[in-house]
Amino acid sequence: MWNRVVPIGVFLASILLPLRGQAQADAKPSNLTLTLRFQAPATRFGWVNGDRRPDSISVLGGGLGLQWKEFWMIEAGGSFLLPPMAGRSEVHLRAGIAPILADGRVEGAGWVLQAQVLGEIQFLERYLDCSELGCDENTTGLSGRVGLEALRWSKSGRSAFTTRLSVGYMIPLDQTVTGYGRDLTGRVDLHSSMDVALDIGIAFR
């Protein structure tokens, strides 16, 4: 009898143990984190040229971000903005680091607080009132951005709800003006831009 049981047991173990090991490997969260972000109305405020009053307010925005090993970060996104006069938009590409400041996870679930220090290429479109003729100002600039992001990871450690507050400051690299007002000398160009933004999102691993 044992001559049959032992070979069968060895055969089953040779099948089940690799499957169990594979299941454990599959259960381990990936080093890559994907984040979908959403920017609700009136959660982004922008200032230009050091003015005290906001020059723009968000109407809708969002983006897609990637993190590697919860440290290296890249993301792309944009916003539709509403200034006091007419609509405008911004598009950005960011890259940098996101070190963990506090980690309250237990077995993968719980809160994580990350800092973010990012470099950013930003495209900003403004509609200007050039002596009542109207013109568009398109600016491509280099920006530095810092932020804090709080993530609440689920029990599986594979998904999280995120909230982020960030501040960016942009210096123009290239600027063009189109429309009837492009040749007027009285208009004020964009010399610098700053914004404060709050967004929410869902992260997956």
pLDDT value for 23: 44
pLDDT value for 8: 47
Instruction: Give 3-state DSSP helix, strand, coil % of the chain, rounded to 5.
Output: 15, 60, 25
Distance between CA atoms of 172 and 104, rounded to whole angstroms? 40
Please tell me the pTM assigned to this model.
0.79
Distance between CA atoms of 58 and 82, rounded to whole angstroms? 6
pLDDT value for 151: 97
pLDDT value for 172: 94
163-191: burial string, b at 16+ Cβ within 10 Å, e else: ebebebbbebeeeebeeebeeeeebeebe
Sign of CA dihedral 51, 138, 40, 103: negative
Task: Please work out, in degrees rounded to the nearest 5, the angle formed at the alpha carbon of residue 204 by the alpha carbons of 91 and 197.
Answer: 35
DSSP SS3 for 57: strand
Mean pLDDT by 10 residues, the chain (205 residues): 48 49 53 96 92 88 96 96 74 97 93 98 82 74 97 94 97 84 64 94 95
Cβ pair 159, 205 in contact under 8 A: yes
pLDDT value for 131: 55
